[in-house]
């Protein structure tokens, strides 16, 4: 089997590993392995030591390109909604009605068709509260300004 096929198989295994365990790590090393396959297609008689050194260089270059150019571009892409699938954070700033009085700092508020635990100042049933934050699955609330 020609050596360039072995490098392409290694590239496919690394990129496939990236698909199974994502993290951008193996992708760039897989790209370096694919570049080695292309290089060996052009220069078929390269010594194994030269292949190893060139693979290390390709790996360093591809990881550097990711770190310096690709990663900053990905970080600049605005996501649609940073709070998607983080429902508690989506509730910050909303006003809710207490369905269980807050006694000793703990109570329950109605959110849609469910109830959430709340922490805040003691307030009676039916009081309107404003969500100020979240701690785990408990909402931090304060008495809503009426007006």
pLDDT, tens only, 74-89: 777 566 555 555 666 7
Structure confidence at residue 79 (pLDDT): 60
Q: State the Cα torsion 83-20-68-33 to the nearest 10°.
A: -170
> What is the separation of C-alpha 74 from the centre of its chain, rounded to a whole number of angstroms?
12
Q: How far apart are CA 37 and CA 33, in angstroms?
A: 6
Closest CA to 54 of 1, 17, 4, 2: 4
Q: Do residues 59 and 29 touch, judged by C-beta distance below 8 A?
A: yes
pLDDT above 60: residue 24: yes
Higher pLDDT, 36 or 115: 36
Threshold 0.85, pTM exceeds = no
Bridge partners (DSSP) of residue 143 are 129
pLDDT, tens only, 88-128: 677 888 888 899 999 998 999 988 888 889 999 999 998 89
Range 57-70 average pLDDT: 92
Structure confidence at residue 30 (pLDDT): 94
Structure confidence at residue 32 (pLDDT): 95
Structure confidence at residue 86 (pLDDT): 64
């Amino acid at each position: 089997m020609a050596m360039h096929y072995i490098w392409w198989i290694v590239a496919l295994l690394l990129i496939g590993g990236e698909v199974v365990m994502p993290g951008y790590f193996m992708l760039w090393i897989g790209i370096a392995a694919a570049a080695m396959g292309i290089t060996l297609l052009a220069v078929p008689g390269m010594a194994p030591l030269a292949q190893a050194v060139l693979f290390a260089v390709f790996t360093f270059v591809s990881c550097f390109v990711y770190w310096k150019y690709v990663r900053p571009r990905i970080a600049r892409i605005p996501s649609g909604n940073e709070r998607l699938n983080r429902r508690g954070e989506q509730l910050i700033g909303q006003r809710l009605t207490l369905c269980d009085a807050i006694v000793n700092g703990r109570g329950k508020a109605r959110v849609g068709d469910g109830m959430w635990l709340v922490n805040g100042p003691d307030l009676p049933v039916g009081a309107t509260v404003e969500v100020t934050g979240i701690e785990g699955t408990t909402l931090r609330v304060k008495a809503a300004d009426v007006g």
